[in-house]
Amino acid sequence: MVEVHLMDNRMLIAGAGLGAALAYMLDPDRGARRRGLARDKVIRGVHVIGRALDATMCDMSNRTRGIAAAARTRWSGDPVDDLTLVERARAKLGRYCSHPRAIEVDARAGEITLRGPILAAEVDSVISGVAAVPGANSVINELDVYESAEGIPALQGAGKRAGSRFDLFQPNWAPATRALVSMGALAAAGAAMAYSRR
């Protein structure tokens, strides 16, 4: 009996909500404008979602090609030219160092040399990150290590260590990363709702 009563209340509330929405949208004076605004918002939403899906698919395609190229490079065993090795090392620096432009990178026959000022807290991660670059045989550390950036011009400015702060849906994330985080968040929310209904 109690379940039937609850069901009747839910149906009554749903019906009242539907009736209010219809009255709002079908109002003879302002209904046409409201319907037009709603239509425009739906069309805009479809366009935004379409562009986001296109960007995500393009990003995932590029990442897949990049992973395949990296695998081919690792398994080929061919020596990497010095210029390519320098570019790969420079790309890694941005992940492990707050001021990557302060570091000079040189490469000769698979041997990477790092020079310039760096914060002491970042040395180990920079060396291990650069050592993991495909084609690198060794890393020579000629870095000038400082405990703080105070008084060192190359270490001044808005440098922020990559990954030092976690924000959900960071604006600098790639579209594929945003899509994966969104799917994970939706799955977690769905699991929480399913669990709460039990």
Residue 95's domain comprises 79-155
Measured torsion, CA atoms of residues 58, 62, 68, 71, in degrees rounded to the nearest 10: -140
Last residue of a domain, one of 45, 78, 111: 78
Q: Based on the fold, state whether residues 124 and 53 are members of the same structural domain.
A: no
- What does the pLDDT profile of the chain (198 residues) look like in tens digits? 545 555 677 788 888 888 888 788 788 888 888 888 888 998 998 998 888 888 888 988 888 888 887 777 667 767 778 898 999 899 888 888 888 889 999 999 889 999 999 999 999 999 999 998 888 889 999 999 998 888 888 888 765 544 444 455 556 667 777 777 777 788 888 888 777 766
SS3 breakdown of the chain: % helix, strand, coil, rounded to 5?
Answer: 65, 10, 25
Q: What angle do CA 27, 28, 32 make, to 5 degrees?
A: 80
Q: Based on the fold, state whether residues 122 and 138 are members of the same structural domain.
A: yes
Helix (H, G, I), strand (E, B) or coil at 20: helix
184 within domain boundaries: no
Helix (H, G, I), strand (E, B) or coil at 104: strand
Q: Based on the fold, state whether residues 124 and 62 are members of the same structural domain.
A: no
The total number of structural domains in the chain stands at: 2
190 within domain boundaries: no
Please tell me whether the overall predicted TM-score, pTM, comes out greater than 0.75 for this model: no
Phi and psi of 117, rounded to 5°?
-80, 145
Q: Based on the fold, state whether residues 60 and 104 are members of the same structural domain.
A: no
Decide: 103 and 139 in contact? Cβ < 8 Å: no
198 within domain boundaries: no
CA atoms within 13 A on the CB side of 123: 16
69 within domain boundaries: yes
Q: Based on the fold, state whether residues 63 and 84 are members of the same structural domain.
A: no
Q: Based on the fold, state whether residues 1 and 66 are members of the same structural domain.
A: yes
Last residue of a domain, one of 30, 61, 78: 78
